[in-house]
Structures are given as C-alpha cells and as structure tokens.
Amino acid sequence: MTRMMRAYRQTRTGDYGELVEIPVPEPGPGQVRLKTAGAGLCQSDLILMRANPPFGPIPATIGHEATGWVDAIGPGVEGLREGDAYGMFFSWGCGRCMPCAKGEENLCAHPGTQRNFVVGWDGGLAEYFLADSPRHLVPLDDLDPVSAAPLMCAGMTAQHGVHRGLGALGPGKWAVVIGVGGVGHMAIQVLKALTPARVIACDVTEEKLEHAKALGADEAVLSGTGAAERIRSLTKGLGADVVLDVVGKDATLALGVSVLAQQGRLEVIGMSGGSTTITPMALPRDASVSLSYAGSIPELKAVIELARQGLVKPDILRIGFEEITDAYRMIEAGSLRGRAVVVPHT
C-alpha cells in the first residue's frame, strides 16, 4: 500500500496553494529523503504562486526553506545517518562551473538549465521532502531544526547581503535595514554580530520598530514622510554606508537611494516588483546599487554558526498545515513578525 503524506501544493497560477495528500517520495540514486522538521514561509513563495506562466511545472509542492531528519538514503549516498538533522540549501546549481566549485551555487553559470528546490523539484511544505544531492544538506548538529528553518533562506540571504557590504562597515559607519520582516529581522542580528557599525531599522509600523530595537538596532525610523531626513540627521548628514532594502518596492528603493553616503552601497534584497530610476547625478560619488541574490553554501554555514553561538536567533511563529494560507495573507499584509514555520510532526 502506498504511503501518503500531506503537502501544500501549487495547483494553479495566480492563487494560494492547496493542502492535499500525495505519495511519500522515495529517494533515487544519489538522493536523500528527510522527515520535515520545519518549513518556513517566504515572500518569494507568493511570487512563485502568482507567476503566469509559472516558473516550473505544476502541480508542485511549495517551500524552499526547510530542515529535517534523514529518513531514507538512496543508493550511492555515503556519510549520512538516519535520524541526523540537516538543513536544505535551496539555490541549486550545476555543481560543475567555477561559482559552484566555490560553493556559490546561487551564482551558477548555467542557472537556466538547473532545477531548484521548489522550481522543477518539490519543496519542503510537506511531511517529507527529497534532497537531490547530499552536497545541498548542511548539518545542524545541536541546533533545534524547527527554529533553524528560517536560516535556510532568510538567514542565509541576510548573511549574503551583509557579507557583500562588510568592507564598508567599519567603526563609525552606518547601516540601514529597510523592512523588519523575515529577512530584515535576521539582517539586523547579522550586522550586529559581524560589524561595529551602527544600525538603523526602518519599517512602516511602530511594533516592528520596537522589535528591531529589541534585536539590537541602534535607531529606529518610521517609514514615510520625513524618513530620509531623519536618517540623514542620525548620520550627521553623511548618509548610510550600506543600505539593505529587504522590501524592494518603489518607495523603499527611492528611500535607499536617497540616504546613501558617498561610496555607499544599496543592496536590493526584496523582490516586491518595485523600480527606481538612476541617473548619473542621482547617486552620491562612488555609490553603487546592486542585486543581492540568496546566498552561498559557505554563507549558509556561516549564519548557522552564528545561530549556534547565540548571536542570531530567528523569531518564529509555529503553525500547522491548516494555517498556511492565513499565514501567507499575513505576509502580504505586512502583519507577520519574524517568520512563520510549518511544523508537520508534533
């Protein structure tokens, strides 16, 4: 008799997913099956579900931010033990090009030909999921795998954005984090763990700004009219040396550009479909704007180590399968604090 499991699947474009029952997957050669410990919900899940045409074949299981315990090992896989906890690196590459050789599979030279965890491959919002290769599994050791789930995307993405700006964040420097959500609340902690820079958090609600201060932000600024002037004032007119825009809307991109210091870096992390116009005189001297995409395997391992040391702690809301759609609505409304994590097995 075929074993069945619950999974949250995209069954059509332009809408939320559905909770259905599907067969438990069997690992093939080189593959590993994991019993899901936790699976985080991400803003980019909504982009995938709304894409028309879809990014990959549907129906498909959503969820690229997952941890689990090794449950079954396919032929040819060595060095893993059933019951050990791992996190899944989601931005798969070809494994053969120069970026992949350095662990930077998020920058694979052949991304259009590769499957990804959730694009062309079933994701982690299920009771079990498959890893295509053990090289994409990162050991969690003594970390709680449920609490560690947001590290697989939100934490890694924050680590990547901060890492790109590390050279600009010495003593006396300023960093601005726009958006204190799933990635933003992690970025504040990574900045405080890795740099001596002072951190300004910016968000649309006082509640999230209070959260930012509790996480270590030195200053908190309410978005909207006067936000740029307030940030300029806090930095004594110099502006921010690094801005992490974790939202990516028109207004946040414009704010990021407007508060950059000379030689400042605006790292665009959020993917909310915004745009801004850059002209030669719009930026301060030697300032730059760049896209910060996901993160590498070394960066995932680095943020896991920060969590192990107690320097980064995901703020999570544990939910069940039946609450997934409501949690996505909270993400859309901007009312979710931290990260929602689905816990299939209680």
Whole-number pLDDT of residue 114:
67
Which of 155-159, 213-217, 277-281, 326-330 has the least mean pLDDT?
A: 277-281
Give the chain's length. 346
Q: Tell me: do 62 and 203 sit in the same domain.
A: no
- CATH code for the domain of 188: 3.40.50.720
Looking at the predicted structure, is the pLDDT value of residue 113 above 80?
no
Q: What is the pTM of this model?
A: 0.96
How sure is the predictor about 279, in pLDDT bands with cuts at 50, 70 and 90? confident
How sure is the predictor about 335, in pLDDT bands with cuts at 50, 70 and 90? very high
Number of domains in the chain: 2
Q: Tell me: do 238 and 314 sit in the same domain.
A: no
Whole-number pLDDT of residue 145:
99
Question: What's the domain range around 143?
Answer: 4-153+295-342
How sure is the predictor about 7, in pLDDT bands with cuts at 50, 70 and 90? very high
The encoded tokens of residue 125 equal: 């919002």
Dist. CA 224–CA 203, nearest whole Å: 9
Mean predicted confidence (pLDDT) in 215-228: 98
- Name the helix (H) or strand (E) containing 185: helix 184-194
Residue 153 C-beta-side C-alpha neighbours within 13 Å: 29
Q: Tell me: do 189 and 259 sit in the same domain.
A: yes
Q: Tell me: do 141 and 193 sit in the same domain.
A: no
- CATH code for the domain of 337: 3.90.180.10
Do residues 192 and 199 make contact, with C-beta atoms less than 8 angstroms apart?
yes
